A and B are shown apart, each in its own frame.
Chain A
């Protein structure tokens, strides 16, 4: 059973993570709120006797400047970590299906060491190569496309909505296809799952949906696969709806 003191320490560490996370996305615009939050947490824990004055001051510094948390590991520490990771990786069977205990143990060690700035990202690639998975660079290459930068053609959709979905137009880019939709049946587009749409064509292209979103009545889908020049039509299929054919 955890003591109240352990609960307090856990809460403070969660605040530390929270503060570090906010630091990455927030600007100083929210500084009063951040300072007020730190004050409220520390005074409350001090009030119930779970922090003394020195500890509160120490935590105030940490929570106010969460980036100051990691001393540089020594070369010796890195070498010990690398040796352990090598040992654990060697123990992973090459025919592991991705769920074996040896792989979990390696991942647990890698993530723990990476979290404290000791294990290099290179170890993820070494693991992936052993498992036959794409490395970070290979995955990035596979996921390239869908930049929506080089617009080559604007294609009209059918004049009428199909099952409440109107295709405003399709945009053919050098590295992908985007489809702009209007929901004409009163459905809230924010509630519509954009990833429930699939795109196909008459030459069997497999279109990868890279992103989707929109406003209150519109949905924009971006497929990171260009339409081949020999394709004569695209077909958009939403979950539970009839397909919508777009002539190229």
Chain B
């Protein structure tokens, strides 16, 4: 019989696992997965990646961890290092690679960057406290990938979208019927309102596109504030969204994304994926953290 929780590697048994007890090392947590998935990942891990990944088991769950020196992650050290883009990029790329590897083997709940525990008991207690919720979340994410979709409109497309907007049509009708003096005032008013009308037209486009993509997705979330265009940029981001898509539906989803851009002149769609479900891992009620 296995003990309910233990640290495993292919080479070391529980007793020899480098359990950090000296107050100097801790566990860097990458993600939570099912025990079976974890053992698959650990068994297949390449031997040339520095410190090996380890598994801390708790009930049906397994945490993918790596021992780290706590001094490297002290508040002072991090404050200094957070400014160091090279270090930060290496860290996030490495973390993403590890999480992606687990994701390839099975469902994974990625954890927030920089989740470090001073000892295994603390981590296991944290897992035990919400064991069933984590398990249910893993089941929900089974066979799903995250996809990022961004839709851009160039200046011509924005002008066309604004022109099709009912508000602009009304302005035009008014303008056609106006006296020269009133037409002058109306033109100035229109110039003031054009930006707002364009924003509204873009937001309609985003909502419609999002709804179409959602038909192929389990869940989705759109960024409330798509990236503002840089000064002089020729295109605007209309939609910046992430979707949770079942693998069986990926082809349809990507085809739909492609259609969004092809159907209308001046639109461009960029997608990224398949990602581990970073944006959909949080448990209900945890959004504010």
The reply to whether chain A is a binding partner of chain B is no
User: CB within 8 Å of A: which residues of B?
Assistant: none
